[in-house]
């Protein structure tokens, strides 16, 4: 079973959210980013990674599909900052990540958010790896 680095997988899923495509090689666990803006010279595009990657590669889903990234912020807000959901949606609509960070700080929720984000992200990525016969590594 090929080992996949969870930090690299998270990055790939976030890049896919931005419109790129990413594949994980089943044999090696190497992640291949298929977009000129995100190309990784250490993980060049595989020659056989056409539109149908077949059984040698697994297509990395978008972070939002995995429930990480933006959806994770909203889940955290619903459970930890219920009184601030309207403000958080407004910050989200304005793409104001600094405002979100300030709100977390004002509410004393920064550490809770970081812990929640880390645990939930790793759990979602581990589930995805398990579903595709890959070994998740930190």
Domain of residue 16, residue span: 3-62
Per the domain annotation, does 101 fall within a domain? yes
Closest C-alpha among 49, 62, 61 to residue 131: 61
Q: What percent of the chain has pLDDT over 70?
A: 86
Assess whether 78 and 115 both reside in one domain: yes
Instruction: Kindly report whether the global pTM for this prediction surpasses the value 0.85.
Output: no
Tokens, residue 98: 């600094």
Tokens, residue 121: 């992200």
Closest C-alpha among 59, 69, 53 to residue 21: 59
Would you state the pLDDT for residue 92?
Answer: 86
CB atoms within 10 A of CB 72: 19
Query: Where does a domain end: 25, 45, 62?
Result: 62
pLDDT digits (tens, 9 = 90+) for 100-117: 999 999 999 999 999 999
Would you state the pLDDT for residue 36?
Answer: 63
Length of the chain equals 138
Query: Where does a domain end: 30, 62, 94?
Result: 62
| Domain tally, the chain | 2
Query: Where does a domain end: 62, 86, 101?
Result: 62
Measure the CA–CA gap between 122 and 25, rounded to whole angstroms: 20
Looking at the DSSP assignment, which residues form a beta bridge with residue 57? 25
Assess whether 45 and 74 both reside in one domain: no
């Amino acid at each position: 079973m090929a080992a996949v680095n969870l930090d690299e997988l998270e990055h790939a899923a976030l890049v896919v959210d931005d419109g790129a495509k990413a594949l994980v090689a089943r044999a090696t666990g190497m992640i291949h980013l298929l977009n000129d803006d995100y190309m990784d010279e250490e993980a060049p595009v595989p020659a056989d990674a056409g539109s149908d990657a077949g059984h040698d590669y697994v297509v990395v889903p978008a972070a939002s599909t995995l429930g990480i990234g933006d959806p994770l912020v909203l889940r955290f807000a619903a459970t930890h900052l219920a009184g601030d959901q309207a403000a958080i949606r407004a910050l989200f609509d304005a793409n104001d990540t600094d405002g979100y960070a300030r709100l977390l700080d004002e509410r004393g929720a920064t550490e809770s958010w970081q812990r929640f984000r880390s645990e939930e992200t790793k759990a979602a990525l581990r589930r995805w790896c398990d579903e595709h016969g890959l070994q998740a590594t930190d």
